[in-house]
Amino acid sequence: MALRKLNPITPGQRHKVISEFDDITTDKPYKPLLVAIKKSGGRNNNGKMTMRYRGGGHKRRYRIMDFKRDKHGVAGTIETIEYDPNRTARIALVAYADGEKRYIVAPEGIKVGQQIMSGSDASPEVGNALYLSDIPLGTVIHNIELYPGQGGIMARSAGSYAQLNARDKKYAIVKLPSGETRMVLTTCMATIGSVSNSEHNLQVSGKAGRSRWLGRRPRVRGVVMNPVDHPMGGGEGRQSGGHPRSRNGVPAKGYKTRSPKKQSNKYIIERRKK
């Protein structure tokens, strides 16, 4: 995977840095695993805008993903590496020995034709999914379950990974991409390796229109609003907005919003980096 800086023959290309897409092997998705996405534009069932700065964007179809990796003991072969408009990572189409096909989040370094497997019998190699009880300590992992059988929900975006640091009785101690260290049940599954498209964070869109293609409308700063619209609005001329806070009055910059009585606090060994 590489990046390409465009020659500035138009203003929108002056700072544009995009992916080469050289890791993608096909531009035609597997149709039985596609479903339609209905867009709401940030409106609820009454037509009222409940989420601002959403709307427009290119039409997409959702690729049904296998986050559970519950096809244990059946070998699968990587057929294609594809672009997915719904996530930052690449996805891989896996053809299993029994004829079924599934999409998975593509790990870094996986190749077409490579064999992968999940379950207790699988070896700890890139792309294989194992229980946390079977993964060697120090291994880099992604697509981690929080509850057994739930399907992977942690470390799924481009370039992200976690590390299995230790095991203590029925818990594994995992260092997450945020820097948080927490306990996860050893009966949860995770996939070996880091997520593909690791240079995604180095891309530069180059122009405002590219955000519109992604369905993001222009964001309005609070200080330019009226007092009725935002706590930081109002004032004569260019006045600063006072204490930085959200539209609902929740302070920004260091104010902790996590409940000290939250049930899952006891599983967190070290909080994420500030």
Ramachandran area for residue 232 (φ above 0: left; ψ -120 to 50: alpha; else beta): alpha
The DSSP code for 136 is P
pLDDT value for 101: 98
pLDDT value for 240: 77
> What does each of the 274 residues of the chain score in pLDDT, given as a tens digit?
689 999 999 999 999 999 999 999 999 999 999 999 999 999 999 999 999 999 999 999 999 999 999 999 999 999 999 999 999 999 999 999 999 999 999 999 999 999 999 999 999 999 999 999 999 999 999 999 999 999 999 999 999 999 999 999 999 999 999 999 999 999 999 999 999 999 999 999 999 999 999 999 999 999 999 999 999 999 988 887 789 999 999 999 989 999 999 999 999 999 987 6
Give the DSSP per-residue string, 79-111.
Answer: EEEE--TTSSS-EEEEEETTS-EEEEEPBTT--
Q: What's the CA angle centered on 66, arms 64 and 70, to 5 degrees?
A: 145
pLDDT value for 241: 78
Can you give the pTM of this predicted structure?
0.91
Q: Which fold has domain 3-201?
A: OB fold (Dihydrolipoamide Acetyltransferase, E2P) (2.40.50)
CB of 39 closer than 8 Å to CB of 224? no
pLDDT value for 185: 97
Q: Which residues of 163-200 are buried (b: 16+ CB within 10 A; e: fewer)?
A: bbeeeeeebbbbbbbeebbbbbbbebbbbbbbbbbeeb
